[in-house]
Amino acid sequence: MIMNGTERMRELIRILKEAAYQYYQKDTEIMSNKEYDALYDELVALEQETGTILSGSPTQSVGYEVRSSLPKVTHESPMLSLDKTKDREALKAWLGSQTGLLSWKMDGLTVVLTYADGSLVQAVTRGNGEIGEEITANARVFRNVPLKISYTGNLVLRGEAVMSYEEFDRINEELDANEQYKNPRNLCSGTVRQLDPRITEERGVYFIAFGLVSDGGDVEYHNSKNEQMRFLARQGFDTVETRVVTGDSILAEIQAFEDRIGGEKFPSDGLVLTYDDMEYSRSLGRTARFPRDSMAFKWQDETAETTLQSIEWNTSRTGLINPVAVFDPVELEGTTVQRASIHNVSILKELKLGLGDRITVYKANMIIPQIAENLTQSDSYEIPDRCPRCEGEAVVEESAGTMVLRCTNPACPAKLIQAFTHFVSRNAMNVDGLSEATIEKFAELGWLKRFGDLYRLHEHREELTQMEGFGEKSAEKLLASIERSRNTEMYRLLGALGIQGVGEAAGKALARHFHNDIHQLMQAEEEEISEIEGFGQISAHAIRSFFLTPTNQEMVEDLLSFLTLRQEEETGETTLAGMQFVITGSLEHFSNRKELENLIEKLGGKSASSVSQKTTALINNNQASTSSKNKKAKELGIPILSEEEFLTKFVQN
């Protein structure tokens, strides 16, 4: 049956509204951004062709309908979407003879902050553009939001709450399989809109300011939006990276941004171009949906057609079996790609995949390989019912509308291998010379069944020296590394155990609270754990549940028979209390940055990754550097100290 234009429009509205609901309300994705944009563009074209706009069309709305239990707030100024283009020449033509500001289009959740008398009084999400959700308590625990600023007039600004790729990977690793997020944007949105701010505090959310809405009218910006951004930086806000461009320079600057995508800390899904001239911008006004003074530039996704050859299934330490598409190699964004994560069973089924199908692939945000479309849609692939690692039963589970495949065998070697790989990693027990492949060999020989077996490997010394890839020297080196790891800190052990939500920072907080006595923690009630700063009910429940499990209790006691947990002297010395430092560049007095950060934390201070008004000092031996951190410190009047100066001023008596 062939649909007429109106019928197709109704179908598109239904599909797009459901996708938007899942994306904004459930923090999940039922289609990629690329698919959504294609359907949206089709709807726009049909509306233009027919001259008809149907009720509920997403082309007439902005953001999402607010349905959570967070308080609702009406925005002082409506938040509109941006018109967009993927054509660089079109963007250049739009700029014309004007001077523009080109910046990253951050991929997170838009937030509006309001300050009165120099204090943060309100934070609101974008919502539907007219009404948002109040998240003030959560914004107060973002990693870099100033709670007090020097400007005492009423100030309203907009920015993006974002989460780094590194934090995304860390949190997803600690979450149960059914709770994992597909991308940093979804995780950030779910975190920012939590009802319990302690959960937000446990995660690394940053606020990147991108625009001033209003002030008290007593600040001179010289008719320049760039000056507005400088003003926000002087107040201690991290502002989005911005380049001043003209028609002569814009194409080169777009390319410069593109060349750096792979190395950026935070995700972005394009660029934003706005006119610098404030008066000119005001004179342009707005349409029903878009401001006329700004334009979004979306990366032109490079796609390639290829053939799906196989689907690999990899078992994680949580038992989740993850599907990965393997296809004929193609060139994308300058690299050869032949694998793409399918994420879960739901997505595999939605794509209607079958071996031999012709598919198109691209890189989401020009970084992460994804399947864009299945051209064949044979829907012939059968989900395995056995774990690829142990042949144990694999079952499809559904949680919050997402289907995943999980291994039910508690003794699955893949779970064991992944758990041991995490246990010996640098930020955990720090055992050199134990790769995943070596751990797998030892597990196959029956040498590694539980963590304590690592410290029984010396019983296999003779066999170890005869193994392929090992000799007398390498065997002794490995055993010596294992021996060194026996003398460790409680926080390292806690992080190594793989408890949901317990990484290095949480491990340190627990060790401090329980005075480096792990048995106190093992006996602690959930309520006591949840009252520790930075912990919420979810993490407290996970920790309590872990230590209530008899097999985990036995495993920990077995481990403790080999380990010596260093008891750091609690001197009570907090000479750096209330201070925050940023470290950059190479170090001379410390073996690495982590060692200096540990010293700062031991003395009651905090270390941060970016310079803001809250920074006490930037530690950089190259004080003449033109790095972005040095520039920001100078702009905000933050002292730049060498290691020697830091130690003399803050540490040495």
Q: Look up residue 208 and give its two tokens.
A: 């990147």
Give the pLDDT of residue 109.
Answer: 92
* Helices 225-234 and 628-636, packing angle to 10 deg: 80
pLDDT tens-place string over residues 149-206:
889 999 999 999 999 888 887 777 666 545 667 788 888 888 888 776 767 877 889 9
Buried b (16+ CB within 10 A) or exposed e, 157-188: bbbbbbbbeebbebbbebbebbebbbbbbbbb
Residue 323: strand pairing partners? 313
Catalytic residue among 92, 105, 225, 614: 105
Contact 206, 609 (CB under 8 A): no
Contact 8, 32 (CB under 8 A): no
E-assigned strands of 30-95? 72-74, 84-85
pTM summary value:
0.55
Work out the angle at residue 242's Cα, subtended by the Cα atoms of residues 114 and 74, and round it to the nearest 5 degrees: 25
| Catalytic residue list contains 105 | yes
On the 0-12 / 13-18 / 19+ scale of CB atoms within 10 A, 549 is: exposed
Give the pLDDT of residue 5.
Answer: 75
Give the pLDDT of residue 187.
Answer: 87
- Name the amino acid, one letter, at 400: A
Is residue 105 classed as helix, strand or coil in its secondary structure? Answer: strand
Q: Report residues of the chain scoring pLDDT below 50.
A: 1, 64, 177, 571
Give the pLDDT of residue 99.
Answer: 97
Q: Look up residue 22 and give its two tokens.
A: 């899942």
Is residue 104 classed as helix, strand or coil in its secondary structure? Answer: strand
Give the pLDDT of residue 611.
Answer: 82
Q: Look up residue 484 and give its two tokens.
A: 């060194």
- Name the amino acid, one letter, at 391: E
Give the pLDDT of residue 124.
Answer: 93
Contact 45, 51 (CB under 8 A): no
Reference 26, options 552, 401, 460, 572; nearest CA is 401
Q: What is the C-alpha to C-alpha distance for residues 298 and 79, in angstroms, rounded to an integer?
A: 19
Q: Which residues contact 55 (CB under 8 A, 6 or more apart)?
A: none
Q: Look up residue 467 and give its two tokens.
A: 């193994």
Other C-beta atoms within 10 Å of 137: how many?
A: 16
Q: Identify the helix (H) or strand (E) that includes residue 157.
A: strand 155-163
Is residue 4 classed as helix, strand or coil in its secondary structure? Answer: coil
Pairing of strands 131-133, 119-125: unpaired
pLDDT tens-place string over residues 24-40:
555 566 676 677 777 88
Q: Look up residue 111 and give its two tokens.
A: 């937030």
